[in-house]
Amino acid sequence: MFEKYPFEKLNELLKDVPHPEEVLSLTIGEPQFETPKFIQDSLCKNAKYLNKYPKTAGEEVLKEAQRGFVKRRYSIELKKDELLPSFGTRELLFNFPLFLRPKKTAFPNPFYQIYEGAAIAAGSEINYMELKKENDFKNRLSQLEGDEDFIILNTPNNPTASVMSLDELSEWVEYALKNDVVILSDECYSELYIDEKPPSILEAAINVGNKNFKNILAINSISKRSSAPGLRSGFIAGDSEILKRYLSFRTYVGCASPLPLQYAAAEAWSDDEHVEPFREKYRKNFEIAKEILGVEIPKATFYIWLEVGDDIEFTKEAYKRGVKVMPGRFMGRKGAGEGYVRIALVYDEERTKKALKIIKELL
Residue 28: per-residue pLDDT: 86
261 pLDDT more than 90: yes
Give the integer Cα–Cα distance in Å for 328 and 151: 22
Residue 13: per-residue pLDDT: 97
Residue 308: per-residue pLDDT: 97
Residue 1 pLDDT level (bands cut at 50, 70, 90): confident
Tell me the pTM: 0.97
Q: Encode pLDDT of 230-254 as tens digits.
A: 999 999 999 999 999 999 999 999 8
Residue 29: per-residue pLDDT: 85
Residue 179: per-residue pLDDT: 98
Provide mean pLDDT across the span 181-196: 97
In 10 A of CB 235, how many CB atoms?
Answer: 26
169 pLDDT more than 90: yes
DSSP string covering 169-211: HHHHHHHHHHHT-EEEEE-TTTT-BSSSPPP-HHHHHHHTT-T
Residue 290 phi/psi, 5° resolution?
-65, -40
Handedness of CA 46, 48, 50, 51 (dihedral sign): negative
Q: Encode pLDDT of 203-226 as tens digits.
A: 999 999 999 999 999 999 999 999
Residue 289: per-residue pLDDT: 97
Provide mean pLDDT across the span 261-275: 98
Residue 296: per-residue pLDDT: 96
What beta strand segments (E) does the chain contain? 24-25, 83-87, 104-109, 125-130, 150-154, 182-186, 216-221, 233-238, 303-307, 323-324, 326-327, 340-344
Give the integer Cα–Cα distance in Å for 348 and 281: 7
Residue 32: per-residue pLDDT: 87
Residue 84 pLDDT level (bands cut at 50, 70, 90): very high
Residue 93 pLDDT level (bands cut at 50, 70, 90): very high
Residue 348: per-residue pLDDT: 93
Residue 184: per-residue pLDDT: 98
Mean pLDDT of the chain: 97
Q: Go through the domains of the chain in sequence order and give each one's CATH number.
A: 6-34+275-362 (3.90.1150.10), 52-271 (3.40.640.10)
Residue 111: per-residue pLDDT: 97
3-class SS letters over 319-336: HHCCEECEEHHHHCCCCC
Q: Encode pLDDT of 103-144 as tens digits.
A: 999 999 999 999 999 999 999 999 999 999 999 999 999 999
Residue 30 pLDDT level (bands cut at 50, 70, 90): confident
Provide mean pLDDT across the span 137-155: 98
284 pLDDT more than 90: yes
Residue 218 phi/psi, 5° resolution?
-125, 145
